[in-house]
Amino acid sequence: MNLLLIRLIIFAVLFFAGLKLYRMYREWKLDREGPQQEGEASGNRMVRCRWCQVHLPEDDALREKGDWFCSGDHRDKYLSEQHEEQREQNKDD
């Protein structure tokens, strides 16, 4: 019975030591690689406004039909310009 108890204690100590080492490794890895991955995870990717070509964070941009815009005004200008171009093409055909 004593041998079983000793094995159980050794197993518990090894388990908690392994758990502690794993947590230390994970914390070390996050300290090393954290800032790069945090930017990607929070959506701070830069996109370009289709109208004025200005770069801005994806969180601040507006998306319409697969294109990015810095403001609603630029979105509306671009879409109206595209609509006029399509009218001219249809008129020419």
Q: Which of 75, 67, 46, 50 is nearest to 58 (CA)?
A: 46
Q: What SS3 state is found at 20? A: helix
Tell me how far apart the alpha carbons of residues 93 and 88 are, in angstroms, rounded to a whole number: 9
The whole-model pTM stands at 0.51
Say if residue 38's pLDDT is above 60.
Answer: no
> Residue 8: which pLDDT band, with cuts at 50, 70 and 90?
very high
